[in-house]
Structure 1
Amino acid sequence: MNKKLINLSMAAVLLGGPAIGYSATLNTFSPDGILQNFTGFDWHSNGGGWVQGFDLTGANNAGDSDTFTLTYQAFAGVINTTSPTNNLFVASPGPETGTYEVTTFQQITQTAVCQNDGCTSIQITTNSGTWEIFLDSNPDANQATGTGFLDGTSILSGTWDSGFSTFSATGAIPGPDVLGTGGGFLFGTVTNTNSTYINPALVGTQFQASLQFPGQSAPEYTRPTAFNGVATGADTASSFVIQTDGSQGFTAAEVPEPGILALMGIGLLGFAFTGRRRT
């Protein structure tokens, strides 16, 4: 490749490319204080996912599809930070000690596509959705009753933009009586940051999250009887609750200081002149 083109490519990457990422801080307003190098949450495996409007049946053929909704609620098992989080309250089956908790409530619209006749292998794509994260100084999240997940202070929220996952089942319908595993990745955007708790603001930054359906049973999983006050009712083939495990990682995006940009520019000029002499 022409050295001048190489130099122009380097300039585009360093000066006009994506902003450099930095970690943020999270103020818990608890004995843990301000958590340094905060990069996200690992939601506890005792999370619940409520699938509604899932109409694929075992009679469907490869290529058949259906759009459904997934509602997800969970509490943080781990805060990703370099600071100690001794006071993080992790609900049952966690230690249930601490002075604050972090919870999330999310709603996602997805499309499932049968990958084979009989639909035992399914590919799931994310169409859209919303998510919100709460910090609560009065830990009360209860997965069994499905309460206490939205009564804290909202510290982060945003949208789900895309994603993909797969699900394999032992039967034709991945409903309540069909064991299976699945999981994948989702991509979203932060649309609101509570600057009282998180700095710098993460608004506009994009992130990646994981979502898994290991199918764990008690005591690692407690089936919720409600989501945000709405009763789930008995599981059916089209509406059922499954154990769901997820995580979300965040990175603050900042543009380098002008001085750093200037040094980058000088360095690039040096590369350019060197390339010109050698041409």
Structure 2
Amino acid sequence: MVAQGGLGYLESARWHDGTLWFSDMTRYKVYRLSSDGRPEVVADVPGRPSGLGFDPDGAPMVVAIDDAQLLRLGNATPEKLADLAPVAFHPNDMAVDRNGRAYIGPQGYVFGEDPVGVSLVVCHPDGRIDTGGEDLIFPNGIAISGDGRTLVVAESFRAPRTRLTAFTVTDDGSLVDQRVFAEFGSPDTETIDGICIDSEGAVWAAFPWIGEFRRVRDGGEVTDIIRITPDTEAYPDGGAFAVDLALGGPEMRTLYMLISDTNPQRLGNSMDATGRIEAIEVDVAGIRD
């Protein structure tokens, strides 16, 4: 166990500058782990934090879901970089490339209503906002390959089969050549949440409803599966949701797994969850900053 206690529903695991960062959507905070494994509060985000990333100078950036804003953290008051409301309903997860471009996935529709296909939102460092891709169903986890040329996004609730969708990233940040990276089962069981990419271009993906983390190659071959179990002492009535993950550590071979013990009803009503972070060593390293 890396960290537990005092944490809620965790999202957006990111390894940056030798430490793990993540958002707590229940407690409206962004954390990083200290050298002794204690979560340290980086910022309070009243607009409910989700997607995290870092600009070329290392400043943290976060998506505030409820306010539909892209923020830069670091000062006493977060700085608004972009108002996402005109282009994104419930902006959620995010990946930031080495040029500072932020790729953001909007939820796109209200749960319980018919899914609506959307595009990714691309926020450029100069303030321009573009879109990329089309007909994405609940684009969620987003990751960029080590060479910056491939972006992969999880279509969490696409029916009849959830999928990872890939794009080629052009020199100006545009997304072209939309294609299927891998397909899975029904969104009732195999919905996908957070993802990360390793140095071989394979994707680690979190499957919350079934409590699994899987490593998947382009084309759909699953090479590794990690199954997690509920922490019934911390949350007696819940299951173990595999939420997000990141590769880090001294050799970039430590897979940090964000896990939230909860159940669908309590999660849907108030994001009620008990969060924890576990880690395991894997064979293929992640991508360094």
TM range (shorter): under 0.3
TM-score where L is the length of structure 1? 0.24
Larger-gyration structure (1/2): 1
Whose strand fraction is larger, Structure 1's or Structure 2's?
A: 2
